[in-house]
Chain A
Amino acid sequence: MIDPRVAGVGLTHFGSHPARTSRDLFAEAGLAALDDAGVDPADVEGVFYGNFMGEIAEHQGHQGPLMAEAIGVDAPATRYESACASSGAALRQAVQNVRNGEADVLVVGGAERMTNLDTAETTEALAIAADDLYEVRAGLTFPGAYALMAAAYFDEYGGEREDLAEIAVKNHANAVGNEHAQFQREITVEDALDAPMVADPLGLYDACPITDGASAAVLVSESYADEHDLDAGVAVTGTGQGGDKMALHDRDALAHTPAASDAADEAFADAGIGTEDVDVAEVHDCFTIAEVLALEGMGFFDAGEGIRAAAEGVTTRDGDLPVNLSGGLKAKGHPVGATGVSQLAELTKLLRGDHHNSEHVSDARVGVAHNAGGTVASATVHVLEIQE
Chain B
Amino acid sequence: MNDGHDEFLDALESGDGYYLECTDGHGSLPPRVVCPHCGDRDLTETALPDTGSIDSYTVVHVPTPAFADEAPYVTAVADFGPVRLTGRVLADEESVEIGDEVSASVGGADESRSVVFEPR
Contact = CB atoms under 8 A, between A and B. Distances in A.
Interface size class of A (residues with CB under 8 A): 35 or more
A314 interface: no
B96 to A, nearest CB: 10
B43 interface: no
Interface in B25-53: 28-29, 36
B103 interface: no
Contacts of B113: 137
Contacts of A155: 56, 98
Contacts of A323: none
B81 interface: no
Interface string A118-143: 01110110010000011111111101
B58 A245 contact: no
A199 B75 CA distance: 10
B58 A137 contact: no
Interface string A186-206: 000000000011111110000
Interface in A249-284: 249-250, 254
A338 interface: no
30 contacts: A123-B65, A124-B65, A134-B29, A134-B86, A134-B115, A135-B86, A138-B86, A138-B88, A138-B116, A139-B60, A139-B63, A139-B75, A140-B60, A143-B62, A144-B60, A151-B57, A151-B98, A152-B56, A196-B61, A197-B59, A197-B72, A199-B58, A200-B58, A200-B93, A247-B86, A248-B86, A249-B85, A250-B28, A254-B55, A254-B56
Interface of A: 119-121, 123-124, 127, 133-141, 143-144, 147-149, 151-152, 155, 196-202, 245, 247-250, 254
A196 B67 CA distance: 18
Interface majority SS (helix, strand, loop, mixed), chain A = helix
B64 A248 contact: no
A172 to B, nearest CB: 21
Nearest to A126: B64
Contacts of A136: 64
Contact of B115 (A138, A198, A199): A138
Interface residues of B, number: 38
Given A134-B29, A248-B86, A254-B77, 12 more contacts: A120-B64, A138-B86, A138-B87, A138-B115, A139-B73, A140-B75, A141-B63, A148-B56, A151-B98, A155-B98, A198-B61, A199-B58
Given A138-B114, A144-B75, A148-B77, A249 B84 contact: yes
B2 interface: yes
Contacts of A138: 75, 86-88, 114-116
B5 interface: yes
Contacts of A144: 58, 60, 75
A149 B75 CA distance: 12
Given A137-B112, A140-B86, A147 B68 contact: no
A133 B56 contact: no
Nearest to A253: B55
Contacts of A249: 77, 84-86
Nearest to A127: B64
B18 to A, nearest CB: 14
